[in-house]
Amino acid sequence: MKLNMITLAGKKAGSVEVAEEIFGLEPRSDILQRMVRWQLAKRQTGTHKTKLRSEIRATKSKMYRQKGTGRARHGAATAPQFRGGGKAFGPHPRDHAHDLPKKVRALALRHALSAKVKADALIVLDEAVSKDHKTKSLREQFGKLGFESALIVDGHEVDGNFELAVRNIPKVDVLPVQGINVYDVLRRDKLVLTKAALDALEERLK
């Protein structure tokens, strides 16, 4: 499979040959859904907590006598039915992460890349380099290229000026190739891979 390559100026820079087993699969939404769910669950903090009856600081003495009042029988004011009482079966700190086989994770990334190719939303850049860290000129270039919502993936190291310039552009993210993941690929309309990122991905996923 061949993909056209362009420069940041929008000019043609030839074409590159990519592997069918990475970029030419029929995307499976079930695998992508499993991967996104795994990513979001893993990054969830799980620090939510409510207090039980034993953790509430209030009087434990009987509120009023057991019989003769015509009211319900109650003991401590820490019971869940009272305002300020403990929470019954409330959430407690826990880890939301669950297991997902390594092979499924690698397969999900292949399907995410293939989905972008099938949707004609994968763009190959010769390089992602900026002469200075000014956002204005880069924003104009992105406007001409149609990068309104894009994830740009570079090689093992991202150009410093380019990263600083992109930082102030909304809905445009930059990652080194080792940070590429299914969730970030799918949450942006376009996926932009540099030639260096393409080579590194093929070496990693073959």
Q: What confidence tens digit (pLDDT) does each residue in 124-167 have?
A: 999 999 988 889 989 999 999 989 999 999 999 999 999 999 99
45-63: average pLDDT: 91
Banded model confidence at residue 9, pLDDT cuts 50, 70, 90: confident
Domain ranges of the chain: 2-45+96-205, 50-90
164: which DSSP letter? H
- Cα 175 to chain centroid, rounded: 12
What's residue 182's pLDDT? 97
In the chain, pLDDT over 90 holds for what percent of residues? 87
For the cut 90, the answer to whether the pLDDT of residue 59 exceeds it is no
- Token readout for 174 is 């930059």
The mean of the pLDDT values for the chain is 93
What's residue 21's pLDDT? 93
Beta-sheet strand order (sheet of 150-154):
12-17, 2-6, 122-125, 190-194, 150-154, 172-176
Banded model confidence at residue 189, pLDDT cuts 50, 70, 90: very high
For the cut 90, the answer to whether the pLDDT of residue 176 exceeds it is yes
22: which DSSP letter? H
Q: What confidence tens digit (pLDDT) does each residue in 75-98 have?
A: 899 999 999 999 999 999 999 999
Residue with tokens 């990519």: 18
What's residue 206's pLDDT? 81
Handedness of CA 197, 200, 205, 206 (dihedral sign): positive
89-118: average pLDDT: 96
Banded model confidence at residue 60, pLDDT cuts 50, 70, 90: confident
20-45: average pLDDT: 95
Q: Is the pTM of this model over 0.95?
A: no
CATH code of domain 2-45+96-205: 3.40.1370.10
